[in-house]
Amino acid sequence: MEKLKDLLRSNDLKATHQRIAILECIDKFGHINIDAIYDYICEKYPTMSKATVYRNINELLSYDIIEEIKLPHKNKKYEIKKVPHIHLLCKRCSKVEDLFLETKPFFNSITSHTGFKIDHSFIVIDGTCRACQQS
Amino acid sequence: MEKLKDLLRSNDLKATHQRIAILECIDKFGHINIDAIYDYICEKYPTMSKATVYRNINELLSYDIIEEIKLPHKNKKYEIKKVPHIHLLCKRCSKVEDLFLETKPFFNSITSHTGFKIDHSFIVIDGTCRACQQS
DNA sequence: AATATATTAGATAATATTTATTATTATCTA
DNA sequence: TAGATAATAATAAATATTATCTAATATATT
Ligand SMILES: [Mn+2]
Ligand SMILES: [Mn+2]
Ligand SMILES: [Zn+2]
Ligand SMILES: [Zn+2]
């Protein structure tokens, strides 16, 4: 809570209730889309406008406080910015799992094949999570 | 041209001029978004409706004739369905490059770490292509 | 080639998603 | 606590996508 306020202020963003609520919500759910953020926060702040969610999401993106995740055939989701990682999307339970895995060998192979200079990667793996395989 | 007609007919889709034009356009450009398809085809078929583009794109997607590519902070693009591959997106020239690369070792590492059963992967690499690095 | 049949296109309305505008309110600094 | 400034809510506008319906077209059959 105070940590979130500091995070906003260190980026010259005012720590409004709405912004804090949006960040707390994203943090709580891990990976979440606009509508779900809006619905969740409306419980606490019924006057909150959806435009405020969009406006703040874009603001937070531009300061690299959050980042956008594009999933196949789904709406965009957002998460608190972390170190680079991979997303595992379960088609059964729809959960998005973070995987922090060493990608250097894979990236080196890409660069040596193509000469492409890599900045970022966006890796989504579709399949069935361990829990869903057992049920 | 005849190959495209056969492709459509083998999926019980009528080989209309519009559909063939859409497929030819996607094939010609490799990776292209809705608006660019529409603009390109309008030159030849000025009466073409954008709803027809959307309708056919969805139809072609559902028959796995084309597939959707989501790129970070860009509109969706479409391409003729190929064997699985990786996309290299150059931030300088905006070109999307296909890379057919062995991913088994990487995927095995994911499965052994997580128990996740992999169906598909969506891998986009952001960076600078070889050509743009030299200019 | 003409005809029958179902499918598709085009026009347009409807819906969904995202952004812009502006008067009012809240935050922060002094 | 007051004043300067930034952010919100409400709303309109813009953009993106889908649905509906009638006329046109593709294809199989004669
Ligand atoms: Mn994540
Ligand atoms: Mn491709
Ligand atoms: Zn699951
Ligand atoms: Zn380039």
What fold is seen in the domain A2-80? Arc Repressor Mutant, subunit A (1.10.10)
Name, in order, each residue with C-beta under 8 angstroms of A60's C-beta and a sequence gap of 6 or more.
Answer: A19, A22, A23, A66
CA proximity to A20, closest of A33, A37, A36, A34? A37
Give the other-Cβ count within 10 Å of B23's Cβ.
22
Specify which residues B99 forms β-bridges with.
B86
Structure token digits, residue A17: 């209730």
Into which CATH architecture does domain B86-134 fall? 2-Layer Sandwich (3.30)
Mean pLDDT of A120-124: 96
Give residue limits of the domains in chain B. 2-80, 86-134
**CA-nearest residue of chain B to A115?**
B130
**Phi (first) and psi of residue B52, to 5 degrees:** -65, -40
Q: What is the pLDDT of residues B6-54, one digit of tens each?
A: 999 999 999 999 999 999 999 999 999 999 999 999 998 999 999 999 9
Task: Enter the pTM of the model.
Answer: 0.93
pLDDT over 90 (residue B135): no
- Round and report the angstrom distance from CA (A54) to C1' (D9): 13
- CB pair distance less than 8 Å for A117 and B110: no
Cβ pair A79, A67 in contact under 8 A? yes
Three-state DSSP class for A37? helix
| Chain A 45-74, CB < 7 Å to strand D | 45, 47-52, 55-56, 59
CA of A129 to the centre of ligand 3 (A): 4
